[in-house]
Amino acid sequence: MAVAETDLTASDVVWDLAPLLPAPDDEGLAALLEQASARAEELAAFHGRVAEFDSAQLAAFVEGLAEIHEFIGRAGSYVGLDFAADTTDPARGPRMQRVEEQATQISTKLLFFELEWAELPDEQADALLADDRLAFARHHLRSARRYRPHLLTEPEEVVLTEKSVTGRSAWQRLFEEQVSTIEVTLDGAPAPLEAGLARLHAPDREIRRAAADAVTAALAPGLRTRAFVMNTLLADKATDDRLRHYASWIADRNLSNEASDESVAALVDAVRRRYSIPQRWYALKAKLLGLDRIADFDRMASVADVDSPIGWHAARDLVLDAYGSFSGELADTARKFFDGAWIDAPARPGKRPGAFCAYTVPSHHPYVLLNWTARRRDVLTLAHELGHGLHAYLAREQGVFHQSTPLTLAETASVFGETVTFGRLLGEVTDAQERLALLASNLEDQIATVFRQIAMNRFEDAIHNARRNEGELSVDRIAEFWVETQHDMLGEAVEITDGYRTWWSYIPHFIGTPGYVYAYAYGQLLALSVYAQYEARGSGFVPQYLDLLRAGGSMAPEELGKVVDVDLADPEFWDRGLDIIERRLDETVAAAKSAGRLS
Ligand SMILES: [Zn+2]
């Protein structure tokens, strides 16, 4: 059955951002920022007096902070989302920058609060937090004190914050600008780096090899500059960590994730112990592609090119159906996203690539951005981002300080919804090749999220420690660490070509958010283990799961885990999620056999 053109493009599925503002456009933005600024002025009068607060005064002050967050959050969400919808509009970028700068000015005035709050003795803070008027911010305020041993004096903090604009942030921006100008030559014409990387999915090996060569060639100019930026930021972090007394390069990231150093080390070990999963898959993939052994540039190759398009309405029904099979309440909430213009679906020129969900503010509702291309994996992306949206929506009662979950739990609802939807999607596919393709692409997503990110974490671990022990790292030395840590994960199953040695040099996370990448694996495996609970217990699990979503970030991760009987301290905890991935690998092998692709 043919699918109508608008149903394929979803061209009429656009969001309505206007309700974020009290008045249209600039007038509304100005009003919000004025309100935020006026309120910040009032609160700034308490500079130096936080230690004298009783619990009523503290509650009033923190409510004031919440109001400011609300004003700034509405303005920031509006300009950020509006920019994402069209990054080439010359008016939108500067407007976003202007709002961000004003917001930073406002929050700088209130920097004293966290510092003074962290300075209070534990007994005094505990006594204040015991008051139920502070329940709405209790976990937030308690966890804000976790940086206590690492904070410097207020004048030192002010200097660091102000100088970071021309220090770390400037280096990060230079890297971003360098990477965004990288041009790949494809078919004799210049193209963006993404276009080169996208060709690695091509079924034809020669196209993949040529694309990989083009990417390698494109990464050569400026490589030493990017390596210098990397070195500078590695050294900058070493200085910060020394001044702030962090025991290791990853310790501040773990603290910000509210994850213990032990749980992160256990995660890394558990994933490394199962490196056999990607190795088994890539050995099988070589057979599917008719090769003795695949090379790094073959890893993304599609194993079957049989993706029949799916219309927006069919996708919507499938996702709502999947959520409905689990919980009527979730399906009803998900429907609001479609009926209320909370989604911007079509892929348009100038629109930000990829997909995301924006929480905005608790008094409003979340938005979802997609780049819909009517592929089956787009259906999973829709289910994934709706999962984030449902989490945000159910947790909005928690208010601004507790709506967002810690990073490590942020993927729970998205991966859960995606997994339920995947089951439905798989159930609908009757063609053996298509079934294999769907399973293989899901397995590869899991490998990319869990194994690839842990291998990248090992790379980060190696370069941070080496910069501290060996001094500045040459381009070659960085490449050695990159190849070594990739080889650990891929084993003999994948040939790492010479060209691949520089492919660390465009990845933004190493520069922008050091230590971040393990959180992908952490979140994915945590979410899969929550899903394993549902598999084991069926519908009896649903009320607990909804409680978990409603709790947002009002508790520490271990406490949130307990809401659904997940024990993060259990040394075997990580294996439950890894077992699900291994099972997906087994299913993929079975599907390859049914499709007649393996003897
Ligand atoms: Zn996500």
HEC states along 47-104?
CCCHHHCCHHHHHHHHHHHHHHHHHHHHHHHHHHHHHHHCCCCCCHHHHHHHHHHHHH
Q: For 528-561, give one letter per residue: b (16+ CB within 10 A) or e.
A: bbbbbebeeeeeebbeebbebbbbbbbbbbeebb
Q: Give helix 55-85 / helix 25-44 axis angle, nearest 10°.
A: 150
**C-alpha to C-alpha distance for 596 and 43, rounded to whole angstroms:** 70
pTM for the whole thing?
A: 0.86
Which of the 8 DSSP states describes residue 369? E
Report the percent of the chain where pLDDT is more than 70. Answer: 99
**Residue in this structure with the two tokens 């519908």, named with its chain if needed:** 539
Measured in whole angstroms, the distance separating CA 314 from the mean position of its chain's CA atoms is 27
Q: How far does residue 80's CA lie from ligand 1's centre (Å)?
A: 18
- Report how far ligand 1's centroid is from the alpha carbon of 519 (Å): 11
How far, in Å, from the CA of 304 to the mean position of ligand 1?
26
Greatest C-alpha distance within the chain: 76
Q: Are strands 356-358 and 189-192 parallel, antiparallel or unpaired?
A: unpaired
Distance separating alpha carbons of residues 224 and 474, to the nearest angstrom: 8
What pLDDT was estimated at residue 1?
47
CA 111 to ligand 1 centroid distance, Å: 30
Q: What is the dihedral of CA 430, 432, 434, 436, to 10 degrees?
A: 130
67 within 8 A of 353, measured Cβ to Cβ: no
Q: Give the distance (Å) from ligand 1 centre to CA of residue 109.
A: 33
Q: Tell me the DSSP string of 352-365.
A: PSS-EEE---TTS-
Mean pLDDT of the chain: 94
Give the pair of three-digit tokens for residue 221.
């100019």
Q: What is the pLDDT of residue 2?
A: 58
Cα of 36 from ligand 1 centre, angstroms: 30
- What are the residues facing 253 on neighbouring strands? none
Interval between CA 81 and ligand 1 midpoint (Å): 17
* CA 548 to ligand 1 centroid distance, Å: 17
Q: At what angle do helices 518-537 and 453-470 cross, to 10 degrees?
A: 150
pLDDT (0 to 100) of residue 3: 67
| Neighbouring-strand partners of residue 229 | none
Q: How far is the CA of 386 from the centre of ligand 1 (A)?
A: 9
Nearest C-alpha neighbor of 276 from the set 488, 456, 437, 588: 488
Range name among 4-8, 74-78, 529-533 with the lowest pLDDT average: 4-8
* 418 CA distance to ligand 1 middle (Å): 10
- Residue 77 pLDDT > 80: yes
Cα of 231 from ligand 1 centre, angstroms:
30
Ligand 1 centre from 412 Cα, in Å?
A: 9
Q: How far is the CA of 375 from the centre of ligand 1 (A)?
A: 18
Residue 520's DSSP bridge partners are none
What average pLDDT does this structure show over 48-71? 97
Which residues have C-beta within 8 Å of that of residue 77, sequence separation ≥ 6? Answer: 17, 20, 358, 360, 361, 364, 367
Cα–ligand 1 centroid distance for 2 (angstroms) = 31
Q: Is 166 or 336 the better-scoring residue by pLDDT?
A: 336
Could you tell me the distance, in angstroms and rounded to a whole number, from the CA of residue 97 to the centre of ligand 1? Answer: 25
- For residues 310 and 421, the answer to whether their CB atoms sit within 8 Å is no
Buried residues in 481-509 as b, exposed as e (16+ CB within 10 A) = bbbebbeebbeebbbbbebbbbbbbbeee
C-alpha 414 to ligand 1 mean position (Å)? 6
3 state SS of 183: strand
Q: Average pLDDT of 476-503?
A: 98
CA distances for 353 relative to 103, 199, 345, 504, angstroms: 26, 16, 11, 21
Phi and psi dihedrals of 129, rounded to 5? -70, -15
Expressed in angstroms and rounded, the spacing between residue 411 Cα and the centre of ligand 1 is 5
The pLDDT value recorded for residue 102 is: 94
pLDDT single digits (tens) 368-421: 999 998 988 899 999 999 999 999 999 999 999 999 988 888 889 999 999 999
Top-confidence range, 40-54, 85-99, 342-356: 40-54
Count Cβ atoms below 10 Å from residue 571 Cβ, excluding itself.
Answer: 12
Answer yes or no: is pLDDT of 558 > 90.
Answer: no
Output the CA 431–ligand 1 centroid distance in Å: 29
pLDDT-derived band at 158, boundaries 50, 70, 90 = confident
Torsion sign across C-alpha atoms 70, 75, 81, 84: negative
Distance 409 CA to ligand 1 centre (A): 10
At residue 534, φ and ψ (nearest 5 deg) are -65, -45
Give the length of the chain.
Answer: 599
Q: Ligand 1 centre from 475 Cα, in Å?
A: 33
Q: What is residue 420's predicted lDDT score, i.e. its pLDDT?
A: 94
Dist. CA 390 → ligand 1 center (Å):
12
- For residue 152, the CA-to-ligand 1 centroid distance in Å is 34
Distance, CA 544 to ligand 1 centroid (Å)? 21
Higher pLDDT, 571 or 288: 288
List residues, by chain if needed, whose CB lies under 5 Å from ion ligand 1: 414
For the cut 80, the answer to whether the pLDDT of residue 52 exceeds it is: yes
415 CA to middle of ligand 1, Å? 7
Task: For residue 487, give the nearest of 296, 301, 292 by alpha carbon.
Answer: 296
403 Cα to the center of ligand 1, angstroms: 16
What is the per-residue pLDDT across 91-110, written as a single tens digit (0 to 9) for each?
A: 998 999 899 899 999 988 99
How far apart are the CA of 520 and the centre of ligand 1, in A?
9
C-alpha closest to that of 564 among 538, 535, 534, 539:
534
566 vs 563: CA distance, rounded Å: 8
CA distance 344 to 332: 19
Question: Is residue 136 a contact partner of residue 400, using CB atoms and an 8 Å limit?
Answer: no
Cβ neighbours of residue 92 closer than 8 Å, sequence gap 6 or more: 79, 82, 83, 86
Structure token digits, residue 49: 């007096």
- Give SS3 for 152: coil
